[in-house]
């Protein structure tokens, strides 16, 4: 689960990390009052669950309360589309008004999970700010990783190691070590998958402050933290993921163009790996479950069809407890209700295969059939236009 910047900053503050003074506004009047309370000079920031807001006009400087009101009027009620948001963007229902800091330099700082080592790690860079994604692509050596063994947890020397490449003054180094202690404690106590500050800014009087913050929580641990549920903002959530949660389908939106309908989490992950290894990207993770009904399959299929980013659908089913004929009936039922305007690659194996194949061929759907796993993925990648990474 993601939360807004203003919520992430309040959490940081609760863990002893300095943030600029801030006020939340849902109307133009509130924005003007907030700007006035902050002394006129302020920053207005669209609250939307996406990065890249600065470059997309979602972070704006104002010199006065009346200018702040104008900017709030331009932002509130619009959708923010950024390089990271996808074409639909996110609705802006609130703007955050913050005190305006004079920035000496910007750093990148995060505590995240290193999947390969199954450990938390600190990620930091002396070149923080809005160009961090480009930096990660073009100069990855400027982004530093410090592994934190979970058995020791965060120790001061981890903080000093992170500080070394940033070229900080001794006072700011000391502050960084303490900020990282707070970030690590937050990361562990609230079961986060990411605690990110970008930029962490060097500002007045030899201090540091978090000018932007992003926090994500591990959904599987949310039941341990009922207080976090109050931070959820449904207006920012993917409608497909919300619908899937209601239907009992495991579904996660990804950024590629191959829509996957698979049974079993293991096969679903293997399918995504195979797509990536053949140079393309999955549009989603979708596991209809080990004992899928035709209705579940139909609703999963309809979900994939409703996603404009999906250029081809790949069905990869191994019939064990799930029967191939049940899956086939679900696909045929869904395709009857929605026009199938994109290629559909189907690989069925296992229980009741012949009956499943009969249902599909009698459905008259223009299906690209495949027998083997790799063959199915190759056909899907080709049908998607051979899209490369």
Which residues make up the interface to Mn ion (CB under 5 A)?
198, 212
Residue 379 within binding range of ligand GDP, rule CB under 6 A:
no
Q: Which of 54, 86, 89, 165 binds ligand GDP (CB under 6 A)?
A: 54
CA distance 155 to 159: 7
Binders of ligand GDP in range 20-39 (CB under 6 A): 20
Stretch of residues binding ligand GDP (CB under 6 A), selected from 21-29, 51-59, 303-311, 320-328 = 51-59
Task: Return the number of other C-beta atoms located less than 10 Å from residue 173's C-beta.
Answer: 17
The strand pairing partners of 256, in sequence order, are: none
CB of 4 to Mn ion, least distance (A): 13
How does DSSP classify residue 282? Answer: B
Question: Is residue 195 within the footprint of ligand GDP (CB under 6 A)?
Answer: no
Between the alpha carbon of residue 365 and those of residues 89, 136, 150, 167, 297, the distances in Å are 33, 44, 52, 62, 16
Q: Is there a cis peptide before residue 365, judged by omega within 30 degrees of 0?
A: no
Query: Minimum CB separation from ligand GDP for residue 206, in Å?
Result: 17
Which residues are part of the catalytic machinery? 108, 196
Q: How far is the CB of 58 from ligand GDP (least distance, A)?
A: 6
Asked whether position 43 contacts ligand GDP by CB under 6 A, the answer is: yes
Sequence-ordered alpha helix ranges (H) in 278-321:
294-305
Give strand ranges (E) for 68-179: 79-80, 90-91, 95-99, 105-114, 119-125, 144-147
Measured CA to CA, the distance from residue 191 to residue 355 in angstroms comes to: 46
Q: Which is nearer to ligand GDP, 6 or 154 (CB)?
A: 6
Question: Between 22 and 198, whose beta carbon lies closer to Mn ion?
Answer: 198
Cα–Cα dist 217/187, whole Å: 9
Among ligand GDP, Mn ion, none, residue 183 binds (CB under 5-8 Å by kind)? none
Among 103, 113, 267, 340, binds ligand GDP (CB under 6 A): 103
* 70, 74, 93, 101: residue in contact with ligand GDP (rule CB under 6 A): 101
Residues near ligand GDP (CB under 6 A):
20, 43, 45, 51-54, 59, 98, 100-101, 103, 106, 129-130, 198-199, 211-212
């Amino acid at each position: 689960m993601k939360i807004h910047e203003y919520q992430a900053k309040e959490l940081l503050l609760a863990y002893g990390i300095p943030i600029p003074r801030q006020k939340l506004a849902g109307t133009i009047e509130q924005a003007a009052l907030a700007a006035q309370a902050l002394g006129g000079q302020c920053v207005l920031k669209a609250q939307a669950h996406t990065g890249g807001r600065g470059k997309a006009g979602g972070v704006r400087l104002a010199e006065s309360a009346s200018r702040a009101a104008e900017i709030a009027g331009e932002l509130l009620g619009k959708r923010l589309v950024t390089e990271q948001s996808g074409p639909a963007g996110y609705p802006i229902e609130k703007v955050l008004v913050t005190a305006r800091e004079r920035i000496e330099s910007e750093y990148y700082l995060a505590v995240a999970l290193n999947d390969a080592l199954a450990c938390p790690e600190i990620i930091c860079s002396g070149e923080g700010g809005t160009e961090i994604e480009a930096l990660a692509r073009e100069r990855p050596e400027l982004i530093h990783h410090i592994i934190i063994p979970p058995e020791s947890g965060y120790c001061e020397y981890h903080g000093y190691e992170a500080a070394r490449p940033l070229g900080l003054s001794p006072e700011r180094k000391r502050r960084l070590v303490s900020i990282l202690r707070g970030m690590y404690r937050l990361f562990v106590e609230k079961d986060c998958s990411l605690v990110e500050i970008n930029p962490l800014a060097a500002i007045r009087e030899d201090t540091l402050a978090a000018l932007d913050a992003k926090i994500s929580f591990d959904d599987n641990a949310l039941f341990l933290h009922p207080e976090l549920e109050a931070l959820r903002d449904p207006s920012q959530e993917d409608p497909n993921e919300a619908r899937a949660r209601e239907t009992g389908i495991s579904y996660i939106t990804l950024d590629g163009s191959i829509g996957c309908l698979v049974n079993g989490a293991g096969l679903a992950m293997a399918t995504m790996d195979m797509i990536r290894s053949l140079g393309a990207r999955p549009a989603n993770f979708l596991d209809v479950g080990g004992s899928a009904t035709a209705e579940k399959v139909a609703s999963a299929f309809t979900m994939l069809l409703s996603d404009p980013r999906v250029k081809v659908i790949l069905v990869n089913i191994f019939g064990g407890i799930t029967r191939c004929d049940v899956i086939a009936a679900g696909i045929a039922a869904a395709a009857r209700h929605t026009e199938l305007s994109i290629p559909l690659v189907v690989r069925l194996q296992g229980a009741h295969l012949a009956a499943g194949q009969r249902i599909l061929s009698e459905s008259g759907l223009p299906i690209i059939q495949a027998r083997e796993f790799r063959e199915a993925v190759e056909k899907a990648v080709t049908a998607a236009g051979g899209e490369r990474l």
